A = this chain, B = another copy of it.
């Protein structure tokens, strides 16, 4: 009887694994590599790759610069206030991206105060690279904050106390003790943030259908010219995902 239970459990897990594995393999083998490579150089595809890499890099940089201090503060503060702030950070994480796009539109959309003002000075916040960055930052930065927070929390506080009791300032302590030890975790967070940003679809399509990022281009290709046209970009994004896994492990 014990064996039966184990077998069933094993089987269930194996089915789920196959459900992950088979489609991924299928994507890679569905099309001859030559055809995929050829299509990689079409103008639509190269433009999308350029837009995505640029915007994801900027979003990740913003998320890191604004997110790291917040992560440190959350990791080193206890009590209600910090729990509330953590909840606020996690909220964009559990919010459907399409809703994230909507809520951003209510603030930076073309008919809003902010949106029209920005358009007037020549920096439209929607249908622009800025719009893509705004969408990606909203969706991806919580990953950076949450992961970096966990990384800082894993650094024993007594190491920080030890450093400061040796006469070193908070800043020196952060730079020479906390940061180097938390670095692998922070790097994982930044990498996850980049992966999330470059794959962002729901919020981006609401804020900036154009200029097309890779996910939006997949959608456009799929709806206008069928699945085949979307393959090269999908393979690129799969490559980014695999690279992400390699970095965070």
Interface residues of A (CB under 8 A from B): 2, 5-6, 8-10, 12-13, 15-17, 19-24, 26-27, 30, 65-67, 69-70, 72-73, 83, 85, 87-92, 94-100, 102-107, 109, 137-138, 141-142, 145, 169-171, 192, 195-196, 198-202, 205-206, 214-215, 218-219, 222, 227, 230-231, 234, 237-238, 241-242, 244-245, 248-249
A170 touches B88 (CB 8 A): no
Summarize A's interface: helix, strand, loop or mixed: helix
Number of copies: 2
Q: Chain B nearest CB: distance from A99 CB in Å? A: 5
Given A2-B171, A12-B70, A218-B89 contact (CB < 8 Å): no
B65 touches A12 (CB 8 A): yes
- The distance in angstroms between the C-alpha atoms of A248 and B146, with both chains bound, is 15
Q: Which of A17, A21, A88, A202 has the most CB of B within 10 A?
A: A202
- The distance in angstroms between the C-alpha atoms of A248 and B91, with both chains bound, is 11
The 9 closest A-B pairs by CB, nearest first: A96-B199, A13-B70, A9-B69, A23-B103, A16-B66, A27-B103, A26-B106, A201-B202, A13-B69
CB-CB under 8 A from A145, the residues of chain B are 16
- The distance in angstroms between the C-alpha atoms of A233 and B136, with both chains bound, is 22
Q: Chain B nearest CB: distance from A58 CB in Å? A: 14
B245 touches A98 (CB 8 A): no
A5 touches B171 (CB 8 A): yes
A215 touches B96 (CB 8 A): yes
CB-CB under 8 A from A192, the residues of chain B are 94
- The distance in angstroms between the C-alpha atoms of A170 and B7, with both chains bound, is 13
Residue of B nearest to A1 (CB): B171
- The distance in angstroms between the C-alpha atoms of A175 and B71, with both chains bound, is 37
B107 touches A22 (CB 8 A): yes
A98 touches B6 (CB 8 A): no
